[in-house]
Amino acid sequence: MRSTNGPVLLALPAFRGLTRKLILLAAVSFVFFFILDLALPRFGATLAGLLVLLPEEAPKLIWRFVTWPFVPDGFLSVIFALLSLWYFGSVLEEERGTRWFGELFFGSCIGGAILATIISLTVGRYFTIIGPPGKFSNGMWPVVLALMVAFARLHANETLTFDFIFRARAKYITAIFLLIYLVIDYFTLRRFDALNTICNCVVAWFFVQMAPRRGLRHNVSEGWFGLRNRYYRAKRRRAAKKFQVYMRKQGKDVNIDASGRYIGLDDEDPDDRRRMN
C-alpha cells in the first residue's frame, strides 16, 4: 500500500487485470497440489518434480522455465507471496500497463530461470556454493522479489506501508525482504533457489532499465513494420526507375521523386488521358 505523510489508510490495491489472473492461477495450483498430496501423494510428488526448475532437466523439459513459480512451497509462503504480488504487481500494472507488466513478470521468470540454469550447469559444477547439482527452485517468491526490485527501481524513495506492518521507503523494504529470503535459502541449503532469485532480480532490473514504457513487444512490432515499409518503398523506387527508363525510350521524360511518385505534373490538365500513357 502506497502512503503519504498523512494518516495510514487500510486500503488494498485494485484486484484486477493480469495480477488477478496470476494470483488466482497460483491459488488454484496450491489447492490442486494440496488435494493431490492427500489423495495421491506419490503422483503429486512426481507431477511437482516435472514442473519445478531443475537445472539438469530444464534444457530437455523447457516448460519448467515457465511452470516453476506455480508449484507451491508451503501455505504461509504462498499467502505472503501472493499478498506481495497483489501489492506490487497491481501498482506496476496500473502504472505501466498490462503488456509491460506481463513482459516484466514472464521475462523475469523465464529469463532469470534460464540464466540461473546456465550458471548452475557451468560455474556451479566447480563452485557448489552457488547451486550444487540435484537442487531445484519453485514457488512465487523469486519472481515477486524481482517485481519488488522493479518497483524499488522506479519508486526508490517512496514511502510504503507494506502488509499494514512495515512503513519504510520502497528500496529499504525490497532490500530487507531480499536479504532475509537469501539468508533463509542459504541456511536451508536451497542455494540454487537463491541463485534463481538473484537472476530473476537482475533480469527485472535490466528490463526496467532498457524496456520502453509500452513494452518490448510494441517496439518489436514497430520495428518490424518499419522494416516492412522500408522494403516496399525500396521496391517502389526500383519499379519507378525501370518505368522512367521505359518512358525515355518512348520519347517521354518523366520526373519521379525519391519515394517513387510522379512530380512536375501540376501544370498539366488532370483530365488529359494522355497522362496515363
- The per-residue pLDDT string of the chain (277 residues; one tens digit each, 9 = 90 and over) reads 555 444 433 457 888 899 999 999 999 999 999 999 999 999 999 999 999 999 989 999 999 999 999 999 889 999 999 999 998 999 999 999 899 999 999 999 999 999 999 999 888 777 766 666 558 999 999 999 999 999 999 988 888 776 556 678 889 989 999 999 999 988 888 889 999 999 999 999 999 998 766 555 555 555 556 676 777 677 777 777 777 677 777 777 766 666 666 665 554 554 555 544 4
Any idea which residue has 518503398 for its cell?
A: 233
pLDDT confidence of residue 212? 67
Question: What global pTM score does this model have?
Answer: 0.74
CA atoms within 13 A on the CB side of 10: 2
- Residue 60 is predicted with a pLDDT of 92
Look at residue 24 in the predicted model and tell me its pLDDT.
Answer: 96
Beta bridge partners of 167: 161
Domains of the chain as residue ranges with CATH: 17-211 (1.20.1540.10), 233-276 (no CATH)
Contact (Cβ atoms closer than 8 angstroms) between residue 195 and residue 186: no
Tell me if residue 196 falls in helix, strand or coil. Answer: helix
Q: What's the pLDDT at 107?
A: 94
Q: Is 255 left (phi over 0), alpha (psi -120 to 50) or beta?
A: beta
42 CB burial (10 A radius; 0-12, 13-18, 19+) = exposed
Task: Please give the pLDDT value at position 49.
Answer: 92
Neighbouring CB atoms inside 10 A of 49's CB total: 13
DSSP for 103-126, written as a single string: HHHHHHHHHHHHHHHHHHHHGGGT
Quote the CA–CA distance of 136 and 219 in Å, as a whole number.
Answer: 34
pLDDT value for 6? 44
C-alpha cell at 220: 518489436
pLDDT value at residue 158: 85
Residue 65, Cα to own-chain centre: how many angstroms? 13
Measured in degrees and rounded to the nearest 5, phi and psi for residue 71 equal: -95, 110
| 8-state DSSP, 213 | T
Distance CA 40, CA 52 (A): 18
For the CA atoms of 195, 200, 202, 207, the dihedral, rounded to the nearest 10 degrees, stands at: 170
Model pLDDT for residues 127-150, shown as the tens digit of each residue? 766 666 558 999 999 999 999 999
d(CA 175, CA 171): 6
